[in-house]
Amino acid sequence: MEFIFKILTKKYKSYLLLVLLFGNINVHGQSLKLWYQQPAKEWTEALPIGNGKLGAMVFGGVEEDRIQFNEESLWTGGPRDHNMPDAHNYLTEIRKLLFEGKQAEAEKLAGLHFMGTKSVSDERASWFNNVREIVNKKENPSQRAFDDSQWARLDLPVHDGWEKAGLEGLDGALWFRTNFEIPNDWKGQDLILDIGKVRDQDFTYLNGSMIGTTNDMNQGRLYVIPKELVQKQNQLAIQVLNYDDKGGLVGYKDVKRKLRIYPKGKENGKEISLSKTWKYWIQNEEAPRVGKYQEAYQPFADLHLTFDSSQTVTNYKRELNLTEAVSKTSYTSNNIKYERTYFASTPDNCIAVQVAADKKASVNFSASFSTPHKVYDIKKLNDSTISLSLKVKDGSLAGVSTLQVRHRGGNVSVRNGSIDISGADEAVLLLTAATNFKNYQDISANPFTICQERIGRLADRSYAALKQDHINDYQSYFNRFSLNFGVDDHEFLPTDQRIEQFATTQDPNLLALFVQYGRYLLISSSRPGSLPPNLQGIWNDLLTPPWGSKYTTNINAEMNYWPAEPTNLSDLNEPLFRMIEDLSVTGQRTASEYYNAPGWVLHHNTDLWRGTAPINNPNHGIWVTGGAWLCQHLWEHYLYTQDLTFLREKAYPLMKASAKFFDKFLIADPKTGWLISTPSNSPEQGGLVAGPTMDHQIIRQLFQNVAAAARRLDVDSAFEQRLIYKSAKIAPNQIGKHGQLQEWLEDVDDPTNKHRHVSHLWAVYPGREINWQENPKLMKAAKKSLVFRGDAGTGWSLAWKINLWARFRDAEHAYNMIKMLISPMAKGGGVYPNLFDAHPPFQIDGNFGGTSGVAEMLLQSHLGTIDILPALPKALNGGAVTGICARGGFELSYAWKQGRLMRLEVLSKAGGICKIRYGGTTREFETEKGRTYALDNQLKLIDSKDNIVGYNSW
C-alpha cells in the first residue's frame, strides 16, 4: 500500500497537496487546456504546436483547416561577414565628440563609419526610371479617364502592410485608384489630402495632375489640392513604390485616424473619408534588392485540409492540452462526430495530424500545400506522398517538406499536388520539413534526403506509438513542475472569455494556465539540438515579420530564457548556450574591427547568421553589452545546477573572453575618473552616449561572476584580482535629483518619461546588485524610477515590470501588472485570444517573462537565501507549487492556505548548505545530494528520506 501511495504522489503531487490542505476537491486539479467554441480566423487565434525544429499554427476550420508551419532554420540571407573593416579607427573620435557633448556629430560619424555592413543592394535608378516611364504614356493610371474596371480591390489603409491583405512577399510598383464627389459648398476652395504614411514612396495625382510625392516611410502625407484642380467628381490615383518590407498606404499608428479630404484650414470640420475599398494594379513586382544589416525568419508553408461541410455543425470545440502537447478539433455533423488531433513530435521529427470519425467510411478530405514563397514546386513522390520544395527570395536557403498519408479503409489518390482521401475510417498525415542549413557557416545539407530519411524511419511506427512517444518525451519536461491556485468554475469557460474577464473577476488558475503555457511554449521551441526561440519563438506567418523575427539581445532574447531555470527546464538552455558559443566566434572579429580589443562583443541584435556588429542606427544600434548579458545566463545555469563540469568547460571560457573585451574597452571618464562604457546607449532611447547605467551594471556583474568562477575553479588568480579591482572602479549606481536611480552618467532623467525599456533597473532584475538586503537606498531609488516610468507598456515590458515588482516585494503591484499582461490585446500590451503575448504585434518574450515573474513572486534565491512566497498577493492566497527551483541546486514543493505556508519539501540535487527563509524565520541546514527534506510552516525539519516524504502524516 505504501508503494502505491508513493507512485500516486509522484504523479499527482501538487494535487494531493491541495486535497490535503483544502479538503474535498477534484483530485486532478485545474484543467490545463486552452479551448474555444469556434475556429480561428486570425493567426493569433490559432493554437501553436512545436517540437523545437518544426512549429505549426492550427486554425481548426470546419470547411478548411489551415495548418501554417515553420522550420526553424528557414531565413533570408546567407553566410557573410557583417563587420566594417577597421571601424576602430573612428572609435577615439566618436568618444571625444561624446565627451564634448556633441552627440549629433558623434552619431553622424558613427553612422558613416561604425555600423555593420549590409547584404547586397541593387542599383535602383534604372528600375525607378522604368516604372515611372508609364506616366509619359498617353493612357496611364494617373489619368482621370483610365479604364481600371478589371483591377482588383483592396481595403485601405493597410496598417500592417499590404502583405497582411493578400499581397504577401510583394515588393515593387503598385497603383491605387479611387474617386470621390465634393459637396457643393467646397467648390472654389483648396483641399487637403491626408493619406497617412506610405511605404515607401508615393506619386499622388488628382484628375491627372500630380499633387505630391514623398520618399519617407515615417512621414504622413498631407498634400494641398489647388482649387483649380478640383471638380465635382474627382479621380485620385497613387503610384506606390515599395522596395522592401511592408508596402502600401499604411495609415497612422492610431488606427482610428482615417485617410481623408477636407477644406484647407478646416481640419476639424466636414471631411470625406478615403478609408474604404480602392482599386489596385500590380505594375512591377521585381523591385531591386535592398541591403540589410541582418536577416529575417521565414514562414515555410501551409497545409490545407479541405472537407465537405454541407451539413450543419454542432458541438464545435478547439483545444490545446498542455499536459500532453496535443491539440484537437472536434464537432458533430450529420450525426457523426469528427475529431482531428495534432501534435509535433520531437522523437520522430514530424508533425502528425489524425482525422477520425465515430462512423466507418466517413472520413473524406483533401490535403494540399501552399506557400508564400514565389519559387516553389509541388510534386507527387508516390501514391501516398507529396513534397513541396521552395527557395527563399534573394537568399541562400532552400527547403523541402514531405507529406505522407496513412489510412484505414477507403481510398487515397494523389493528383495535381493534392492527396485525396475518401471513405476512410481514419487517416493520419505525417509532415516533416528541412532546409540546407547546417550552421551559420555551412549550408550544404540536403533537405530532400533529410525528409526522406525521417519519413522512412516512420514506416514501421504506428500512430498510437508515435503519439505515446511524443507524450512521454514532452512530459519528461512538463511534469517536473506544477502550479495550482485552487479550483474554481472559470475553467469551464472558453479561454477567450476568461481573458476578457480576468482583470475584473477572481480566476487565479488562468494565471496558472498562463504560466504553464509559457513552459509549454519553451518546451515546444527550445530543445537540445534546435536553434533558440527568436522574437516569435518558431511561429511566424509573414515573409516580412516584425523586426525580422530576429534575436534582439538588449532584453528580448534573454527574456525568452528567464523561466528555464526556476520552472525546472534547465536543460532547455542548450540551444541558447550553443548560440552564445557561435556569437563568441563571430564576436571576436567585431571586437577586433570595432574596438581593437581581445575577447568578443555582441551588440543589440543577431540572426541565424550570427551577426554581431552594430545595426540600424547609431542612436540605438551601438550598444555593447549584449554578449555580457548572455553570459549572465551561463553563470545562472551554474548557480542553479552547481555543475562544475559545465562551468569549467563551457561557461567560464565564454565569460572570461567577454570580460577580456571589457577589460580593454572601459575607459576613464575625464570628469569623474570612473571607468565607463562608451560609445553605447541605454536601450532604446537617449541616443549615443558615454556611460549608460545599464552597461555598468552588466559589466560589473560580469566581472564579479568571472572572478567568482575563477575562485571556484581555482584558476586565473591574477585575472580574478584584476577584475575585482576594476569592477570597483566602474561608475557606480547614482541617485538623482528626483530621488530616482539615474539612467545615465549625468543626472538628466525625465520623471515624465514613460518609455517601455527600464534598462537601468537591470541590477534589480535580472541582476542582483541592487537589493533590499545590501543597499536599501538604491532599492528605493530604483523603485521610484519604476513608478516614474509607469505601469503601461508593451507585453514584454509589462512582463519585465512583474519581475521587478516581485523583487521590490510589492505583491499587489506585481499582481496588477499581471492583470494588465493577461488582458485582451489593446494598443499596447495584453494577450491575443490564443494567449500569445502582444507587443503588439506578437512577441513571445512576454509569455516567457510573465512566467518567470510568477515564479519570482513565489520564490527568490538571488541573495544566497531561498525566500518562500516573497511577493504573494491576496488574489493568490491559496495554492501549491511543485518542482520550483532555487539557486544552489535545490528543488522545492510547498503549499499555502489563506496566505500562510503550510509545509514544504526541499530536494537537494547537489548537496551543500540550504538556507531557507519564510516570513521572519530563517533555517539553515546541511544537505546530501539526492535527499529530500520536509519542513513545517515554522521551517522546522520534520523528516528526510531518499524519496518523496511525509504525505501520510499530513
Rounded to two decimals, the pTM is 0.94
For residue 288, what is the DSSP state?
A: P
Indicate the SS3 state at residue 317.
strand
Phi and psi (nearest 5°) for 821? -70, -45
pLDDT attached to residue 17: 52
d(CA 618, CA 104): 10
Region of poorest pLDDT, from 392-396, 575-579, 948-952: 948-952
Which residue in this structure is represented by grid cell 533537405?
A: 447
Q: What is the pLDDT of residues 287-307, one digit of tens each?
A: 999 999 999 999 999 999 999
pLDDT attached to residue 503: 87
pLDDT attached to residue 164: 85
pLDDT attached to residue 717: 97
pLDDT classification of 908: cutoffs 50, 70, 90: very high
In percent, the amount of the chain with pLDDT more than 90 equals 91
Please, are residues 788 and 741 in contact by the beta-carbon 8 Å criterion?
no
- Using DSSP bridges, classify how beta strands 301-307 and 411-415 pair: parallel, antiparallel or unpaired: unpaired
The amino acid at residue 854 is: V
Please, are residues 857 and 808 in contact by the beta-carbon 8 Å criterion?
no
3-state helix, strand, coil in the chain (%, to 5): 30, 30, 40
Q: What is the pLDDT of residues 79-118, one digit of tens each?
A: 999 999 999 999 999 999 999 999 999 999 999 999 999 9
pLDDT attached to residue 598: 98
**Distances, alpha carbon 466 to alpha carbons 302, 363, 459, 527, in Å:** 23, 21, 11, 18
d(CA 831, CA 842): 8
In percent, the amount of the chain with pLDDT more than 70 equals 95
Please, are residues 10 and 952 in contact by the beta-carbon 8 Å criterion?
no
For the chain, the average pLDDT equals 94
d(CA 501, CA 484): 19
| Rg, C-alpha atoms of the chain | 30
| DSSP labels, 640-652 | HH--HHHIIIIIH
pLDDT classification of 30: cutoffs 50, 70, 90: low
What average pLDDT does this structure show over 675-694? 97
d(CA 834, CA 825): 11
Q: Per residue in 245-263, is it b (16+ CB within 10 Å) or e — as a string?
A: bbbbbbbeeeeeebbbbbb
Where does 23-151 show beta strands of DSSP type E? Answer: 33-36, 47-50, 54-58, 64-71
Phi and psi (nearest 5°) for 225? -100, 110
> What is the torsional sign of CA 186, 187, 189, 191?
positive
d(CA 141, CA 210): 12
Q: What is the pLDDT of residues 417-459, one digit of tens each?
A: 999 999 999 999 999 999 999 999 999 999 999 999 999 999 9
Q: What is the pLDDT of residues 102-160, one digit of tens each?
A: 999 999 999 999 999 999 999 999 999 999 999 999 999 999 999 999 999 999 999 98
**Distances, alpha carbon 890 to alpha carbons 188, 332, 518, 635, 802, in Å:** 80, 49, 22, 16, 24
Can you list the domains of the chain with their CATH numbers?
A: 33-76+295-479 (2.70.98.50), 125-284 (2.60.120.260), 570-732 (1.50.10.10)
How many residues are given for the chain? 954
Where does 774-875 show beta strands of DSSP type E? Answer: 859-860, 866-868
- How many helices (H) and strands (E) are present in the chain, helices listed first? 21, 43
> What is the torsional sign of CA 320, 47, 535, 71?
positive
- Bigger pLDDT: 713 or 946? 713
pLDDT attached to residue 28: 38
Cell matching residue 738: 528626483
Phi and psi (nearest 5°) for 903? -170, 160
Indicate the SS3 state at residue 900.
strand
Neighbouring residues of 133: CB distance < 8 A, sequence distance ≥ 6: none
pLDDT attached to residue 490: 82
Indicate the SS3 state at residue 882.
strand
Cell matching residue 421: 482521401
What average pLDDT does this structure show over 644-651? 98
The amino acid at residue 730 is: I
Where does 146-242 show beta strands of DSSP type E? Answer: 152-155, 172-181, 191-199, 201-206, 209-215, 220-225, 233-242
Please, are residues 834 and 510 in contact by the beta-carbon 8 Å criterion?
no
pLDDT attached to residue 11: 43
Neighbouring residues of 670: CB distance < 8 A, sequence distance ≥ 6: 99
Q: Which of 61, 57, 66, 65 is nearest to 313 (CA)?
A: 61
What average pLDDT does this structure show over 209-215? 96
pLDDT classification of 255: cutoffs 50, 70, 90: confident
pLDDT attached to residue 944: 52
Q: Which residues pair with 353 in a beta bridge?
A: 342, 429
Q: What is the pLDDT of residues 314-373, one digit of tens each?
A: 999 999 999 999 999 999 999 999 999 999 999 999 999 999 999 999 999 999 999 999
| Residue 881: burial class (beta carbons within 10 Å; 0-12, 13-18, 19+) | buried
Please, are residues 113 and 90 in contact by the beta-carbon 8 Å criterion?
yes
Give the number of C-alpha atoms closer than 13 A to the C-alpha of residue 286, restricted to the C-beta side: 5
Phi and psi (nearest 5°) for 590? -65, -40
Neighbouring residues of 510: CB distance < 8 A, sequence distance ≥ 6: 490, 495, 498, 499, 502, 822
Q: Count of CB atoms within 10 A of residue 46's CB?
A: 28
What average pLDDT does this structure show over 546-573? 97
Please, are residues 223 and 211 in contact by the beta-carbon 8 Å criterion?
yes
Give the number of C-alpha atoms closer than 13 A to the C-alpha of residue 299, restricted to the C-beta side: 25
Region of poorest pLDDT, from 27-41, 218-232, 682-696: 27-41
d(CA 68, CA 300): 8
Give the number of C-alpha atoms closer than 13 A to the C-alpha of residue 11, restricted to the C-beta side: 8
Please, are residues 86 and 564 in contact by the beta-carbon 8 Å criterion?
no
pLDDT classification of 6: cutoffs 50, 70, 90: very low
Whether the upstream peptide bond of residue 200 has omega within 30° of 0, thus cis, is: yes
Q: Which of 699, 656, 653 is nearest to 680 (CA)?
A: 699
- Whether the per-residue pLDDT at 583 is higher than 90: the answer is yes
Please, are residues 346 and 471 in contact by the beta-carbon 8 Å criterion?
no
- Whether the per-residue pLDDT at 513 is higher than 60: the answer is yes
- Whether the per-residue pLDDT at 416 is higher than 80: the answer is yes
pLDDT attached to residue 267: 86
d(CA 45, CA 526): 22
Q: Count of CB atoms within 10 A of residue 930's CB?
A: 12
